Amino acid sequence: MILVTGGAGYIGAHTNKALNQAGYETVVVDNLSKGYENFVKWGHFENYDFGSKDLREVFEKYDIDGVLHFGAFSSVAESVELPQKYFKNNYKNTINLLQIMREFGVNKFILSSTAAVYGNPEKVPITEDQELKPINPYGHSKFITEKALEREAAKGDFNYVALRYFNAAGCDFDCEIGELHEPETHLIPLVLDAAIGRRDSISIFGTDYNTPDGTCIRDYIHVNDLAKAHIDAYEYLCNENESNVFNLGNGKGFSVKEVIDMVKKVTGKEFAVKLDERREGDPDILIADATKIKDKLGWTPQYDLETIVESAWNWHKKIYQD
């Protein structure tokens, strides 16, 4: 049995589906502060806060072999406004989870981490051995969580994999679940909002970056590719019994303008695009070097930007048109 915290959220729900399709039995723990109970269509569901001491009841009820930990707040902007909220939920509550795992002898842990731990990278593509210098409270909360996992592993009889995501995007191809944030902050669903008429326009924040078209470049990875990487990482822990850290990205970058153009191509819709001022703290280029996970786990992303946008568009039409 695998415990999936935050399994009613975007990436957690897609990974929970993939785990069940791969033959694993799961129990999802989510307090539904950000997630949706109707996203938990596979496995068992328990409504708990992973920062609560009552979480022990889940470990008593189920024979848990390992934990996939998606339960976290993830808005950079909100983290700047409310840093203690991110420190408490993303770090302190994870410590509670780790303590309960120790009590029950559960020693395999996959962390949903982030490229935000790198801050402004020294070089691109970004490798895992670059110095970690997060520039916002969200990235810092994941950085100190990774350090807590290092300490836990050093005690013995505990191994972890931290997966540093770049830009998760796209949706379930069956449209059973998808991306649904409130408020939405991710670029692709925001552009799709403009395409479907839910917003009047989409804004580009900064056109003077040191990139070919002047807009920020990011590495987009399909959520199903992320889900597969979690399964591969869990099996790696079962077989190799050693801790590790991996980047998760396509290794290819697309600018904001290129993403907008792809949305127009896929949807066949025209919409207004406004040019706005830069936002503080946005690096020019963030692209993953995912060589390490390909070499160690044999994981390779399967889906390109067009497929990512197509799957997201199908979900968007289902929830906002049908």
The string of pLDDT tens digits covering residues 113-140 is 999 999 888 899 999 999 999 989 999 9
Alpha helices by DSSP H, the chain: 10-21, 56-61, 76-81, 83-86, 93-103, 137-154, 187-196, 223-240, 256-267, 291-297, 305-320
Give the H or E element holding residue 28.
Answer: strand 26-29
| Interatomic CA distance for residues 316 and 212, integer angstroms | 30
Q: In terms of DSSP bridges, do strands 44-46 and 159-165 run parallel, antiparallel, or are they unpaired?
A: unpaired
Place of tokens 């998606």: 70
Whether 184 shows a pLDDT value over 70: the answer reads: yes
The pLDDT of residue 283 is: 80
pLDDT-based confidence at residue 236 (cuts at 50, 70, 90):
very high
Q: Which of 173, 176, 171 is nearest to 189 (CA)?
A: 171
- Report how far Cα 99 is from the mean position of its chain's Cα atoms: 24
The pLDDT of residue 322 is: 61
Do 158 and 295 meet the contact criterion of CB atoms below 8 Å apart?
A: no
The pLDDT of residue 315 is: 96
| Edge-to-edge strand list for the sheet holding 217-218 | 254-255, 217-218, 285-286
* Angle, vertex CA 315, rays to CA 116 and CA 216, nearest 5: 35
Tens digits of residue pLDDT in 23-77:
999 999 999 999 999 999 999 999 999 989 999 999 999 999 999 999 998 888 8
Do 248 and 163 meet the contact criterion of CB atoms below 8 Å apart?
A: yes
| Interatomic CA distance for residues 170 and 154, integer angstroms | 37
Whether 321 shows a pLDDT value over 90: the answer reads: no
Place of tokens 């998808």: 178
> Does CATH number 3.90.105.10 belong to domain 187-218+251-320?
no
- Determine whether 138 is an active site residue: yes
Give the H or E element holding residue 45.
Answer: strand 44-46
- What the block records as the tokens of 142 is 């994941």
* Angle, vertex CA 317, rays to CA 311 and CA 322, nearest 5: 140
Which of helix, strand or coil describes residue 86? helix
Specify the domain boundaries for CATH 3.40.50.720 within the chain.
Answer: 2-168+221-248
Q: What type of residue is 113?
A: S
Specify the domain boundaries for CATH 3.90.25.10 within the chain.
Answer: 187-218+251-320
CATH class, range 2-168+221-248: alpha beta
Whether 98 shows a pLDDT value over 90: the answer reads: yes
Active-site residue, selected from the candidate residues 62, 138, 160, 165? 138
Q: Which of 298, 299, 219 is nearest to 259 (CA)?
A: 219
The pLDDT of residue 282 is: 77
Residue 232 C-beta-side C-alpha neighbours within 13 Å: 20
Whether 213 shows a pLDDT value over 80: the answer reads: yes
